[in-house]
Amino acid sequence: MEQLQAVVQKETPNMDTECATLTGRLGTLDIVFTVLAYNAPLAVVVGLIPIIIAYGNGLGAPVTFVAVAILMLLFSVGFTTMSRHVPNAGAYYAYITVGLGPCTGLGSAFMAMLAYAFFIMGGYPYAGVIIGSFATHLTGKSEETWWLWAIILWAVVSVLGYFRITLSARVLTLALVCEILLVAVWEGAIALTKGYSFLSPVWLSPTAVMSGSVGLAILFGVTCFAGFEATAVFREEARDPEVTVPRATYLSIIIMACVFVSATYFFIVAYGPAGALAKAGSEPATAALDSIAGYLGHVGQAAVSVLMCTSMFACQLALHNILARYIYSLSIDGVLPPGLGAIHSRHGSPYRASLLVSVLGVVSVTVLTVTGADPFTAYAALVGITGFTLILLQILTSLSVILFFRRSRVHPGRWKTMYAPAASLVGLVMTGWLAISNIEMLTGNLRVAQCLLAIIFASLIGGIAYANRLRSRRPTVFAAIGRKMR
């Protein structure tokens, strides 16, 4: 351990104005709301639930979300057990390293960073369109200037990402509470209007659950839960990481499950079983919005417009913070330039890594604007590939947990180290196969998806090759990959 710390110190610049590690006082709810912000629950309710009903298993969609939540909870058993033995900000990168070796670990880190970068790149143009549509509604002036709103959003996210993480956590908490409250009010209005007889799930039969394409429903359901590794990404900034990280992980999944299951159920109740299938099939883009407007009136419709803007803002801020901490972690390990691991003396934030993510954001907006790319097409392709990549990282993490504890002298119990990770591994492998088989539907464009997949796998192979080069040319850095293992 002392040798590893010496390696890390040797590869990291000694700056009097900077801290040695990330600092913060994030509590359980702070981290939970950061994870929820990344998942953008209102965007899932408005945009994905009608699609899951239309192209998935129809009236069985609520049960699909329950099944996916169970799969995520099974994955979290091994994930949180591993977090006690790999206490740094690397998350998937660090966990895969200690189980599958530094080469695979570094390859997975490059792949994870690229996936989050893709999401950021796709998120800004989509958010620009959402905010621009809201501005048009307010002013009555229609202008094709999504890039202007994207730049304004980028500037706000970049400023907040530069400061201490607790400031971002407060902003995210406010935005997410409003989103969840709106969904709850909509569901309450449906329940009061329809009455008890309509709430009875007589239509939720085994036939309904197994109808349509169950595989597609599961695939889309898993992508709705992706991103809760952020609970471990912010470990160094948590108040009591040994307690906070596992608690935040489970709570994030449970809250998402409650929101998604209840929203799907009440969407069907609002239209009636036959009406929900027809509405989701004919107008998936507006089906949920129409229901909210119908039950909450113009006030509810206006609230959705505002909260969709804040939802995209919260999502981009969460992604910015996550990617910055990945860059910080690799820099501290000596894999990336040491200067990127610098921490601000006042704010305790990885400010140089944050600035690099800001550069990525503004360059991506500029390139998409100059090339005339369609914001919706870019968003669908880049976010779809991100979802697939996170599934792949979860597969590698589940395998890593099993192998790590088979070799370890520490044995927390076979349920935590073998049975639950093995069950999640099987489920995630099946989901990954579904993703590959339906990659065109997941991304919207087969040719673009194939190009992005090639880039993702190239990053994995490139990371493995780079790790092998470090082994022979910079062995001290190679030894530091996946630092601070207990």
- Give the integer Cα–Cα distance in Å for 326 and 132: 31
For the cut 60, the answer to whether the pLDDT of residue 201 exceeds it is yes
Return the SS3 of 431: helix
CA angle 385, 387, 388 (to 5 degrees): 65
Check residue 356 and give its pLDDT.
95
Task: Answer whether 390's CB lies under 8 Å from 227's CB.
Answer: yes
**What six digits make up the tokens of 5?**
């710390």
- Give the integer Cα–Cα distance in Å for 22 and 343: 7
Task: Answer whether 234's CB lies under 8 Å from 31's CB.
Answer: yes
Tell me how far CA of residue 399 lies from CA of 76, 98, 300, 368, in angstroms.
13, 11, 45, 37
Q: What is the DSSP string of 124-154?
A: HHHHHHHHHHHHHHHH------HHHHHHHHH
Amino acid, res. 471: R
Check residue 16 and give its pLDDT.
36
CA angle 345, 346, 351 (to 5 degrees): 70
Tell me how far CA of residue 355 lies from CA of 314, 319, 360, in angstroms.
18, 13, 9
For the cut 90, the answer to whether the pLDDT of residue 259 exceeds it is yes
How many CA atoms lie less than 13 Å away from 388 in the CB half-sphere? Answer: 28
Please tell me the least confidently modeled range out of 38-47, 128-137, 196-205, 396-405: 196-205
**What six digits make up the tokens of 38?**
């990344």
The number of residues in the chain equals: 486
Task: Answer whether 484's CB lies under 8 Å from 84's CB.
Answer: no
**What six digits make up the tokens of 146?**
């999504």
In the chain the first and final C-alpha atoms are separated, in Å, by 8
The residue ranking higher by pLDDT, 103 or 87, is 103
State pLDDT tens for residues 80-94: 888 777 766 557 888
Return the SS3 of 4: helix
For the cut 80, the answer to whether the pLDDT of residue 269 exceeds it is yes
- Give the integer Cα–Cα distance in Å for 14 and 339: 10
The residue ranking higher by pLDDT, 171 or 280, is 280
Check residue 22 and give its pLDDT.
59
Its pTM stands at 0.86
Stretch 135-140: mean pLDDT: 77
CA 249, distance to chain mean position in Å, is 12
State the sign of the Cα–Cα–Cα–Cα dihedral 417, 423, 426, 429: negative
**What six digits make up the tokens of 99?**
């189980």
State pLDDT tens for residues 332-356: 888 999 889 888 777 777 889 999 9
Domains and CATH numbers, the chain: 2-480 (1.20.1740.10)
- Give the integer Cα–Cα distance in Å for 266 and 189: 10
What dihedral angle (degrees, nearest 10) is formed by the CA atoms of 35, 248, 217, 75?
120
**What six digits make up the tokens of 247?**
């608690």
The residue ranking higher by pLDDT, 4 or 272, is 272
